[in-house]
Structure 1
Amino acid sequence: MAVAASQRSMLSEQSKMSAASQAERSVLEDEFKWLLKEEVHSVLKQLQDILKEASRRFSMPAAGLESQLKQENFILGSSTMDQVKGVLTLQGDALTQADIHLKMAKSNQVMHFAFRDDKQWKMQQIQDARNHVTQALQLLSSRDESYHFRTGAEVNKLMDAVMLQLTRARNRLTTPATLTLPELASSGLMKMFTPPMPGDVMVNFYTNLSKLCLTVYQLHVLQPNTTKNFKPSGSSVLHNPGAMFELNNTKFEVSHVHKVECVVPWLNDTLVFFTISLQLCQQLKDKISVFSSYWNYRPF
């Protein structure tokens, strides 16, 4: 008798636990439905608003409206470092003018170089970052408010695609391209200036985080009797004094390196927008993971 009563009690408890489990599952399913139907679209709307602001920072004119694109002047150099001074004019993703004063190390003579009137230098990092923002916005707009997400995996797939574009955009601004010295010496940038850059001077422009950077290299020719110690340098963002390279059968060594930079406020804004957007994407993925057991559950 006692055993039978005990069994009935256990069955009763199991029944209660089963009912509680069903009730909990029902609540979770309702929450998951609400997440897929309402909250996902709310986050997508926030992301679109933020990235539209980022896109405006990269403001590019429509065809025929080039003159309406704002030109910004940035002063390079400082009172404590007068080897290189200059003013750069940035218009969207192009340097439309560069006015550089360089004090030559050997002679202390100050030389002046400026872009030719018919030349502009495209800042590929800015252009690429803008293109990635555009692609992220296209991904988001492909799922308007009428679109019905059926699984958490589908949401995650979209978030991963958006995060990939945002990460690439951020990386383009924060990671300048590495170049060998011969690549830099033979780049189109060396043909931008008037008067022409002398053969013992090279320059490079790039962005690093929110800064616009100018690096100037002064060179000297290596004598033939030093070639036994010749070790050409590889690719780098910034080459140090002592770096060697060969161009047109002449061997050079970097004697002096000068780097000057300035902050571009709107580039800083875009980096903040990228960080906020990536956080929103990750937070939505984290919420989806709470319902991981229902990722393949189709509520409707």
Structure 2
Amino acid sequence: MSECEKEEALNLQKEFEWVLHQEVHTAMDQIHQILIECARRFPVTLYGTDNTIRQDKFILSVAADQLKCVVTLTGDSITYADISFKVQRQQNSVVRTTIQTDSPWKLQQVQDAANHLQQAIYHLDDVAKNYKFKSSDEVLHILGNILGSLQRGRTSLIVPRKKAIDDLIKSRNMKSLSPNLAEDLAISFYIQSHKLIFAVYQLSNNHGKMDFDSNHAECSVPWLNEVLVLFTVGLQLCQQLKDKICVFSQYKDFTVGSRPPSPPTVPN
């Protein structure tokens, strides 16, 4: 190894140690702050935050009174809803039902996202402030756990789980309605990105095959938009740190205190 190559390898070793001992902790502190801010935006108690269980009221409707729903969203549940919609195949008859405070409609997506966010914060908390990382693989393992939790949390809000109509009709949430709907009708509330969606499904028997028509209304929920922005920022910061660490991961035996490796060679 030439003197120039030795100097390059030594500088690379010094940079590696500085990144592990200084920059990783600085970046993780920044990510931690972002995730705590995200936790504060949730309308439920999360990671010890003293969040006020906020109440938001929305009107979701479709033109010509095809569908209308006035809802109160409290935390991760719909605690009140006044619902009306037209059933087309019954001479435009109107169906009315409600959700009352004593039997709320649970939005599991919100709780799932909160749980994944909390898990990401716990992964960060597991790293002691004065801990000295010894290898890039060690950092990448922790970042992988954080990224996984954040991706699952963000996906919980952006991509609602699909249910078969039969499962929807038999779901616990349908029992929140008073009065109950006819067996060929179903409704659903779910989150998609920053929006609350209200959907109505009308089943029909088409030559022995079950089919359904659907209609939906939506509204924007401000705190959901803030949560998704902070999820995205947290993911971006984690990915940036991971990309920087990956520069060193090509040196499999490159650990703190090790002998500087030879620079990579290329064919002449």
Aligned pair partner of 2:22 in 31, 35, 38:
38
The partner residue of 2:87 within 104, 120, 126 is 104
1:274 aligned residue (223, 227, 231): 231
* Cα distance in 2, alignment partners of residues 38 and 187 from structure 1: 51
Q: Encode CA deviations 1:173-199: one digit per residue, 9 max, x unaligned.
A: 111111111111111222212222223
Check conservation: 2:81, 2:100, Cα contact below 8 A. no
Partner of residue 34, structure 2: 50
1:297 Cα deviation (Å)?
Answer: 2.5
- How many residues are treated as equivalent by the alignment? 253
Task: Quickly say closer, same or farther: Cα 1:155–1:186, change in 2 above 3 A.
Answer: same
Q: Deviations over 1:191-227 (max 9, x none)?
A: 21222222332101111111111110123456xxx33
Contact 1:152–1:292 (CA under 8 A) maintained in structure 2: yes
2:119 maps to 1:132: no
- Which segment is superposed worse, 121-130 or 197-206? 197-206
Counterpart position of 2:241? 284
TM-score after normalising by structure 2: 0.87
Which structure is richer in relative contact order (CA contacts within 8 A, separation 6 or more)? 2
Match of residue 214 from structure 1:
198
Q: Any stretches of 5+ residues in structure 2 without a counterpart?
A: 258-268
Partner in structure 2 of residue 238 of structure 1: none
Q: Distance in 2 between matches of 1:208 and 1:81?
A: 24
Gaps of 5+ in 1: 1-16, 231-243, 245-252
| CA-CA distance at 1:39 after TM superposition | 0.5
Q: Cα distance 1:61–1:141, how it changes in 2: closer, same or farther (>3 A)?
A: closer
Of all paired residues, the percent bearing the same amino acid is 40
Residues 1:75 and 1:269: Cα distance change in structure 2 (over 3 Å): same
* Residues 60 and 218 in structure 2, CA contact (< 8 A), matched pair in contact too: yes
Question: Which has the greater radius of gyration?
Answer: 1
Structure 2 residue aligned with 1:25: 9
Deviation track 1:260-286 (CA, whole Å, cap 9, x = no partner) reads 111111111121112111111111111
Specify which of 65, 69, 83 is matched with residue 66 of structure 2: 83
Counterpart check, 1:263 vs 2:247? no
Deviations 1:34-56 (A, max 9, x none): 10011000110111111111111
Letter in 1 for 2:230: F
Q: Which whole-Å CA distance do the structure 2 matches of 1:220 and 1:288 have between them? A: 57
**Aligned counterpart, 2:264:** none
Farther off after superposition, 110-119 or 19-28: 110-119
Q: How far does residue 68 in structure 1 lie from its aligned partner after superposition?
A: 4.8
Aligned to 1:239: none
User: Which amino acid in 2 is paired with 1:209?
Assistant: S
> Could you say which residue in structure 1 is the equivalent of 2:167?
183
One-letter code of the match for 1:47? I
Q: Distance in 2 between matches of 1:212 and 1:72?
A: 11
What CA distance in whole angstroms lies between the structure 2 residues aligned with 1:130 and 1:281? Answer: 18
Superposition RMSD in Å: 2.1
**How far 1:116 moved relative to its partner?**
3.3
Could you tell me the TM-score, scaled by structure 1's length? Answer: 0.78
Q: Which residue of 1 aligns with 2:266?
A: none
The residue aligned with 1:151 is 135
CA distance in 1 between counterparts of 2:164 and 2:250 reads: 51
Asked if structure 2 preserves the Cα contact closer than 8 Å seen for 1:191 and 1:197, the reply is no
Which position in structure 2 is the counterpart of 1:72? 56
Change (3 A) 1:183 1:88: same
